[in-house]
Amino acid sequence: MPELPEVETVRRILNTCVQNKRIQDVLIYDDHMAKNSKYPLNVLKGEKIHVVDRKGKYLIFRLDHYLLISHLRMEGKYYYHEKRVENAPHTRIIFCFDDGTYLYYDDSRRFGTMDVYLIDEENNIPSISSLGKEPFQLTKEELYNDFKSHHLEIKSMLLCQNIIAGIGNIYADEILFESKISPFKMCDTLTLNEVDVILENAKKILLKAIDLGGSTIRSYHPSEGIDGLFQEELKAYGKENKPCIHCNTLMRCHMLHGRSVTYCPTCQNVAKVVAIYGKIASGKSTVLNYLSSLGYKTFSADKEVNDLYKKDFHLKAFCIHLFGEACLTRFGTINKNVIKKLIVNDENKKIELENYIHPLVKKRLISFIKNNIYEKVIFIEIPLLFEAKWDDLADEILGIDIPLDLQITHLKKRKSKNISRDLALNSSLKFNKNLAKCNDIIVNDGSLDELYQKVDTYLNMILRK
Ligand SMILES: [Zn+2]
């Protein structure tokens, strides 16, 4: 979808092609784009195009008596031809000029719009008059006051055309990345200084994009589409899982109110998600509890599963369906130990149960991350991190390793009724293979205090990273 710089480029090119040309005829193959127009496109016959202006992403053709307001939306494109050429598959409208040249309008998806108004109706055109000022016309104080009166994530706010016109999804990502500001920050919490940084970057980035788009004017060939789209300069948009150009952290992408947001969690201060992974009884829960006691936000998949077993009526019904009444305690609640026993010998039922529970836990995990997006770092403990393929939700993975003899001691301390079964369940986690995928490893081979010290050292490192 073309954004302000692309539309500005199209405007500039159009002025080099059609300014001061008189429309002799309008050939309409599909008037879908003009279906809401106040006047039919035919009224433009005999009118001269004085200039093509732009407001936001709208092109404004100024004619003798009329204005033609054109929005390209997704796929609208103008093609200028010096002579009549065969229609393209999606040619919708052709403006024929009295000097024998033509302007074709193509639109494969038919989302573009064309609306004709009388010149003196300009101030009453709803689409244009509701538009806010462009970054170039706004002061930081004006923008700051507008932001203060709204409670919306800054990323979504930048897309509100009635507040600030001309910024679409691509440039909003670029502007916030350049400003090193979290896209999830509420716009009414931004300082005047932060608003200033955003505004200055908006101007800088849009001008640069216009300049680059403008360079296509020189290489412009009449038979090529005038869409001016440029991709090479983008640093954030579309860069999910690519290293940040400033700090090498992998760029992340989330959905926010139905639109994608791409950002660097480090540069833009968005919560870094650290997954803690380890063998059974390796001390990973101890580590998670320690972090929680230090005030960090933590998520334990095991705790969530326990909670689901207790509260989720559908899960209980599913367990009875899978394992029979045998999986219930005498109080009618789910007996996790019985289920553990049943699945260790039945791979199929284990998979069936996991396939049922995993989406429920994942839903809780995603909302946990979303709710804590303003934290510096948050910790999640997922025993089946790699098996469930949730490792891509984490920015960092901390592995907790433990020597076998200590692991057995821990299991004994837990009063494990069946150590070999617990170890068997554990071996199926393929921990050692997954260990290689962890970014850092803590070996839990000493006292509790030594473990805490190792976690402190890790924290210092991760907070600096
Ligand atoms: Zn970065």
Can 265 be counted among the known catalytic residues?
no
CA 29 to CA 47: how far, in whole Å?
20
What is the rounded CA–CA span in Å between residue 423 and residue 193? 56
Q: Give me the pLDDT at residue 429, please.
A: 55
What are the strands, taking DSSP E only, across 316-462? 377-381, 396-401, 440-443
Ligand 1 centroid to Cα of residue 270, in Å, is 10
Higher pLDDT, residue 177 or 108: 177
Which of 2, 5, 183, 265 is an active site residue? 2
Amino acid code (one letter) for 80: Y
pLDDT value at residue 371: 84
For residue 454, give Cα distances in angstroms to 117, 381, 437, 449, 457: 71, 17, 20, 9, 5
Under the banding of pLDDT at 50, 70 and 90, the label for residue 230 is: low
Instruction: Give catalytic status of residue 57 as yes or no.
Output: yes
Would you state the pLDDT for residue 115? Answer: 96
Give the tokens for residue 394: 């984490």
Of the candidates 48, 208, 259, 421, the residue annotated as catalytic is: 259
Q: What is the pLDDT of residue 341?
A: 85
The pLDDT value given to residue 233: 78
**CA–centroid distance, residue 379 to ligand 1 (Å):** 20
CATH node for 135-220+228-258: 1.10.8.50
> How many angstroms is it from 173 CA to the middle of ligand 1?
13
* CATH superfamily of domain region 4-127: MutM-like, N-terminal (3.20.190.10)
Among 145-149, 203-207, 258-262, 343-347, the range scoring the smallest mean pLDDT is 343-347
- pLDDT winner (highest mean) among 84-88, 95-99, 367-371: 95-99
| Fold (CATH) for 272-464 | Rossmann fold (3.40.50)
- By the 10 Å C-beta count (0-12 exposed, 13-18 middle, 19+ buried), 250 is classed as middle
Query: Given pLDDT bands bounded at 50, 70 and 90, which one contains residue 426?
Result: low
Residue pLDDT, tens place only, 154-187: 999 999 999 999 888 888 999 999 999 999 888 9
User: Tell me: the pLDDT tens digits for 445-454?
Assistant: 999 999 999 9
Q: Which residue has the higher pLDDT, 457 or 341?
A: 457
Mean pLDDT for all residues in the chain: 88
Q: Where are the domains of the chain?
A: 4-127, 135-220+228-258, 272-464
User: Is 226 buried (19+), middle (13-18) or exposed (0-12) by CB count in 10 A?
Assistant: buried
pLDDT digits (tens, 9 = 90+) for 339-357: 888 888 888 999 999 899 9
- How far does the centroid of ligand 1 lie from the alpha carbon of residue 246, in Å? 5
Which residue of the set 3, 6, 194, 381 is catalytic?
3
Q: Is the pTM of this model over 0.85?
A: no
**Distance (Å) from CA 165 to ligand 1 centroid:** 27
Rounded to the nearest angstrom, the distance between the alpha carbon of 177 and the centre of ligand 1 is 8
Residues with CB under 5 A from ligand 1 (ion): 244, 246-247, 249, 264, 266-267
Measured in Å, residue 251 CA sits from the centre of ligand 1 at 7
Residue 427 has what pLDDT? 63
Per-residue pLDDT band at 231 (split at 50, 70, 90)? low
Known active-site residue 2? yes
135-220+228-258 matches 4-127 in CATH topology? no
Q: Is 140 strand, coil or helix?
A: helix
Q: What pLDDT score was predicted for residue 242?
A: 93
Q: Which of the residues 12, 57, 279, 350 is marked catalytic?
A: 57
Q: How far is the CA of 434 from the centre of ligand 1 (A)?
A: 26
Between the alpha carbon of residue 262 and those of residues 96, 224, 229, 238, 268, the distances in Å are 43, 31, 19, 7, 11
Say whether 83 is catalytic: no
247 CA → ligand 1 middle, Å: 4
pLDDT for 94 equals 96
DSSP state letter for 240: T
- pLDDT tens digits for 270-309? 888 999 998 888 899 999 999 999 999 999 999 999 999 9
* Cα–Cα distance measured from residue 58 to residue 393, given in angstroms and rounded to the nearest whole number: 39
